[in-house]
């Protein structure tokens, strides 16, 4: 069974990476841990904040893989601790965010149990590029073998005949 793609129009050339990004988003985990916020600081800056209480900087990892921001956390619990009640979740996690082209990770900071990851879109000038149009002469082949026999047609005259070469 063939799959209909949103980007299958012949007018959308080179948008395959958007289709792949949508597939990655749809496959993302529906798990709500850890909770996070995405805030727009200004027109060029965004901040993703994750609630990671109990994690140290050595327990966290922030990477960019193929335009995808991957934030992972893994904490090794001490085996000697005995909990009477455990309400603070410190299980391992991985959060993925698909980054648009041009978005760069400016930095990350851990503050009061919150991991802040700052993203920025550098200001870019609109690019206009002119494409030169070449003039090509039509190619003509000469010689009897290249064009084949010619036929002379005289309007209102006798039937066409082969021309001699």
pLDDT in tens, 30-74: 567 899 999 999 989 999 999 998 899 999 999 999 888 999 999
Percent of the chain whose predicted confidence (pLDDT) is above 90: 34
Q: Does residue 135 belong to any structural domain of this protein?
A: no
Q: Which of 108, 132, 129, 133 lies closest to 118 in space, CA to CA?
A: 108
Contact criterion met (CB below 8 Å) for 99 and 17: no
Burial 38-76 (b: 16+ CB within 10 A, else e): eeeeeeeebebbbebeebeeebbebeeeebebebebebe
Q: How confident is the model at residue 127 (pLDDT cuts 50, 70, 90)?
A: confident
CATH no. for residue 48? 2.60.40.790
Q: Does residue 110 belong to any structural domain of this protein?
A: yes
Q: ω before 34 within 30° of 0 (cis)?
A: yes
Q: Does residue 10 belong to any structural domain of this protein?
A: no
pLDDT at 28: 56
Instruction: Report how many domains make up the chain.
Output: 1
Q: Which of 110, 120, 118, 119 lies closest to 60 in space, CA to CA?
A: 110
Q: Does residue 108 belong to any structural domain of this protein?
A: yes
pLDDT at 31: 66
Q: Does residue 96 belong to any structural domain of this protein?
A: yes
Over the stretch 112-125, which tens digit does the pLDDT of each residue have?
999 999 999 888 77
Rounded-to-integer distance, Cα 91 and Cα 81, Å: 15
pLDDT at 4: 60
> Which is more confident, 79 or 112?
112
Q: Tell me which residue range forms the domain holding 37.
A: 31-120
Residue 128, beta-bridge partner list: none
Q: Does residue 100 belong to any structural domain of this protein?
A: yes
Q: Does residue 78 belong to any structural domain of this protein?
A: yes
Q: Does residue 23 belong to any structural domain of this protein?
A: no
Cα pseudo-dihedral 156, 160, 162, 165, rounded to 10:
20
């Amino acid at each position: 069974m063939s799959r209909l793609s949103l980007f299958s129009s012949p007018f959308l050339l080179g948008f395959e990476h958007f289709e792949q990004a949508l597939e990655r988003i749809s496959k993302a985990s529906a798990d709500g841990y850890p909770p996070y916020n995405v805030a727009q600081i200004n027109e060029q800056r965004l901040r993703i904040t994750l609630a990671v209480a109990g994690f140290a900087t050595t327990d966290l990892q922030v990477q960019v893989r193929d335009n995808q921001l991957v934030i992972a956390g893994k904490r090794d619990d001490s085996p000697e601790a005995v909990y009477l009640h455990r309400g603070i979740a410190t299980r391992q996690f991985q959060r993925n965010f698909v980054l648009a082209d041009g978005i760069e990770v400016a930095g990350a900071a851990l503050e009061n149990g919150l991991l802040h990851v700052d993203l920025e879109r550098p200001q870019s000038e609109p690019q206009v590029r002119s494409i030169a149009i070449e003039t090509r002469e039509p190619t003509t082949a000469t010689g009897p073998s290249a064009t084949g026999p010619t036929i002379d047609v005289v309007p209102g005259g006798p039937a066409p005949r082969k021309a001699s070469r």
